[in-house]
Structure 1
Amino acid sequence: MSYLVRHRPVEDPALRLVCFPHAGGGASFFRDWPGYLDPSVEVVAVRYPGRETRMGEALIPTMDALSPQIAAELLAETPVPTVLLGHSMGAAVAYESLLRLEAAGAEHVTRLCVSGRGLPVPAAVVPPRTDEDLIAAVTSLGGPHAAIWQNAELRELFLPVIRNDFRLIDTYRRREDAPPLRADVMALTGDRDPRVTPLGAQAWSTVTAGAFTSHVFEGDHFYLVPHAERVARLAVDRTGRHDA
């Protein structure tokens, strides 16, 4: 099944915004985003295997297996000016997918928006997590579905996805010799995010030969839930300075 979900198809888009969800998240996280933007903007959400309509598919536990598949689908799309936006784990997946797109010669991705995640450190090593560690990590970040961990049935349903996604991001190592991106980079973060500070988000400036901008919002790791419209408009604004 396709990785790409269109909540509002656009016949001849002037611009495409591709959204990569966080660990445990799905394409439905971005369901309302088309309504925030001009009808000429096509919002495409990435749906990872093992969740939502792909529940029966095998989970993918490594970045090297996941990002090439997403990049291949994006390469098959009609090339229009494109912005990639990833939140938390999705920021790393979007970055790795863009590296592969640019390596294949794609020039239509003009911007990468990285939200709620610092620049991955190549040498970082994270010890294996127990299920209780995972639940504690997820609930500490809040988010729109934090209450599911209080329900035993939902907990057992979603634990395999969380285990998989945290394994993927914990074992991910950014290549030290990765080429600089040609696309511009925009870093977005909440001022009370326990995982990344606004200063830490500035490190993303080192991955691009293009322009770099950063924006800080009021809120925690899931600041983009109450600020969704503003984030969506900022991501696709040509100047990168729009404040809705």
Structure 2
Amino acid sequence: MQNKTQLFCFTYAGGTASFFDSIEKYLDNVEVIPLEYAGHGNRFKEPFYKNFNELADDLYNNLINNYKGGTYALFGYSMGTISVVEVLKRIIDRENIKLPDFIFLAAHEPYTKTVIKNFSESEMDDFVKERTISFGGVPEKLINNKSFWRMYLPIYRADYYIIHKYNFEDLKLKSLIPAVVFYSENDTPFDKMKYWNKYFTEKCEYHEFDGTHFFMKEHYCDIANIIKEKIGAINDV
């Protein structure tokens, strides 16, 4: 019996692997494998990454350890899109496994962010709080909860720090792997998202959704159906 196509998932800043639980139940023809970042979720005791090189080396190894040898795809949400392209670079360069059959990217434009470059620690904390709240990433009842921020602010801060150190101008990637990009015009406008086709040059398909940064929370069924359609096409070949 042929193995199901594997979908390796990379979550957003401050997020955990459980973010992908909502789509997993709709992907009955897919083995969903959410990869956890160090310092997050069930890896909370591990130190945070200092940069995306550390993150990508770690998650590349996790992917290799979970790969079963068949067809597979990568799905990155927000910060996870950077994780995907950096892991993909390692897959291409190291040639230990075949290339993924599809790339799915959501909620992050291929754009270098430098706003926190000269922030003080208190400015950084204020920025991270405001940004996370504006994205809809914090339940309203927890916005002023000091215990919540004491636990989660270091996680958000660590992730935002490596995002703002990342330079897309240094990304040397031109891939023929077909890519599908999910976005919300209110959050990441198409005028910026369209530049993903600079890195995925053969086919880069875009799907717009209503909502804020976490539009997948409302549209997980639609997103799962698009993923199933693309992966179904792979399995029919």
**Length-normalised TM-score, structure 2:** 0.87
Q: Could you say what secondary structure the match of 1:229 adopts?
A: helix
Q: Distance in 2 between matches of 1:170 and 1:177?
A: 14
Question: Residues 240, 147 of structure 1: CA spacing in aligned structure 2 closer, same or farther, 3 A cutoff?
Answer: farther
Q: Is 1:119 the equivalent of 2:113? A: no
1:58 corresponds to: 47
The answer (yes or no) to whether the contact 1:118–1:204 under 8 Å persists in 2 is yes
Q: Is 1:67 the equivalent of 2:56? A: yes
Aligned residues: 226
The answer (yes or no) to whether the contact 1:85–1:114 under 8 Å persists in 2 is yes
Matches within 5 A, 1:102-141: 102-105=92-95, 106-121=97-112, 125-126=114-115, 127=117, 128=119, 129-141=123-135
Q: Distance in 1 between matches of 2:40 and 2:160?
A: 15
Shift of 1:13: 3.1
Matches within 5 A, 1:26-45: 26-38=16-28, 40-45=29-34
2:184 corresponds to: 190
Q: CA RMSD in A?
A: 2.2
Where structure 2 has 5 or more consecutive residues not aligned to the other structure, the ranges are none
Q: In the alignment, residue 22 of structure 1 is paired with which amino acid?
A: Y
**Length-normalised TM-score, structure 1:** 0.85
Identity fraction in percent = 23
Matches within 5 A, 1:154-165: 154-165=148-159
2:222 corresponds to: 230
Q: In the alignment, residue 217 of structure 1 is paired with which amino acid?
A: F
Q: Distance in 1 between matches of 2:209 and 2:104?
A: 14
Q: Distance in 1 between matches of 2:171 and 2:13?
A: 26
Question: Residues 73, 175 of structure 1: CA spacing in aligned structure 2 closer, same or farther, 3 A cutoff?
Answer: farther
Q: Distance in 2 between matches of 1:175 and 1:100?
A: 18
Matches within 5 A, 1:143-158: 143=137, 145=139, 147-158=141-152
Q: Distance in 1 between matches of 2:61 and 2:23?
A: 24
1:95 corresponds to: 85
Q: Could you say what secondary structure the match of 2:168 adopts?
A: coil
Match of 1:208 among 200, 219, 231: 200
Q: In the alignment, residue 97 of structure 1 is paired with which amino acid?
A: V
Q: Which has the higher contact order (CA 8 A, sep 6+)?
A: 2
1:135-154 per-position Cα deviation (integer Å, ceiling 9, x unaligned): 01111111364643321101
2:11 corresponds to: 21
